Amino acid sequence: MEVERVETGIPGLDDLLNGGIPKRNVVLVSGESGAGKTTFCSQFLWKGLQEGENCMFVTFEESPSQIKEEARLFGWDFEKHGDSITIRGKDPFDEGDEELFWFRDELEKNEVDRLALDSTSILSLYHENPYEIRKAIYEMIKVIKETGTTAIVTAESPAGEEKLTRHDVVQYAVDGVIALYFEGIGKRGYRSVQVRKMRRSDISTETLSFEITSNGLDVGQSIV
């Protein structure tokens, strides 16, 4: 049976994904600071808006106004789409697990097709015990999957390490993993992307270079 897919809106990436992310999948986008995770989220939602879908951005690290301002730099004016997009910020220092998952009701009420959540790394501020962090991450992914939305969740990878995330659990709870890499060599920086896994997909796992242009992320040539 053919899998219904959701295009990311990122040139070159959907070719790696055999046409896009399977609908209703929850996909992790990991990378160091500056790798392009937040831009990836905004570009993914912008594509959904162009398709007439309902979208939601949940941000734990930037304010909604910052998200909108940064998106406009790429020509993505979220405000023009009115009620089709919801951007909600959450102060990471507000305590309480129930507050972490407050967005569930809005996902269902607004019949959200695409969700971007930036970032799951914030859960480490709420819990010190690795077990509690693992439990909270699984609960967050479960909440998202129960709504039936197609989602991108981000996580910061430790600088200079091969780990995808600071807590080796997110990548096992999600349906797919897209890793963004940023390497500084001399005065230049080089970015690359690799799809590490994607359930219900025959994917290419080759590593490709990408750039952040005035139009957003653009995936290019294979890195040998």
Q: How far apart are CA 138 and CA 27, in angstroms?
A: 13
Q: Confidence class of residue 52 from pLDDT cuts 50, 70 and 90?
A: very high
Q: Are 134 and 126 in contact (CB under 8 A)?
A: no
Cβ-Cβ contacts under 8 Å for 154 (sequence gap 6 or more): 28, 29, 30, 31, 37, 38, 40, 41, 116, 117, 118, 119, 120, 121
CATH code for position 196: 3.40.50.300
Q: What is the pLDDT of residue 84?
A: 97
Q: What is the pLDDT of residue 4?
A: 95
Cβ-Cβ contacts under 8 Å for 158 (sequence gap 6 or more): 32, 166
Tally of structural domains, the chain? 1
Mean pLDDT calculated for residue range 185-207? 85
Per the DSSP assignment, residues forming a β-bridge with 188 are: 185
Cβ-Cβ contacts under 8 Å for 119 (sequence gap 6 or more): 37, 60, 61, 153, 154, 155, 156
Q: What is the pLDDT of residue 92?
A: 63
Task: Give 137 or 152, the one with higher predicted confidence.
Answer: 152
Mean pLDDT over each residue of the chain, to the nearest integer? 87
What is the 8-class DSSP label of residue 50?
H
For the ranges 14-18, 45-49, 96-100, 178-182, the lowest mean pLDDT is seen at 96-100
Q: What is the pLDDT of residue 116?
A: 97
Q: Confidence class of residue 99 from pLDDT cuts 50, 70 and 90?
A: low
Mean pLDDT calculated for residue range 126-153? 85
Q: Are 130 and 138 in contact (CB under 8 A)?
A: no
Residues of the domain holding 55: 5-222
Lookup: tokens for 135:
């439990």
Q: How far apart are CA 15 and CA 210, in angstroms?
A: 13
User: Is the predicted pLDDT of residue 189 greater than 80, yes or no?
Assistant: no
Q: Are 39 and 213 in contact (CB under 8 A)?
A: no
pLDDT in tens, 78-89: 999 999 999 998
The model carries a pTM of: 0.91
Q: Determine if residue 98 is left, alpha or beta; phi over 0 gives left, psi from -120 to 50 gives alpha, anything else beta.
A: alpha
DSSP E strand boundaries for the chain: 5-6, 21-22, 26-31, 55-59, 85-89, 114-118, 150-156, 176-185, 188-198, 208-213, 216-222
Q: How far apart are CA 16 and CA 28, in angstroms?
A: 15
User: Is the predicted pLDDT of residue 160 greater than 90, yes or no?
Assistant: no
In percent, the amount of the chain with pLDDT more than 90 equals: 60
Q: Confidence class of residue 130 from pLDDT cuts 50, 70 and 90?
A: confident
Q: What is the pLDDT of residue 179?
A: 95
Lookup: tokens for 104:
């569930």
Q: What is the pLDDT of residue 88?
A: 93
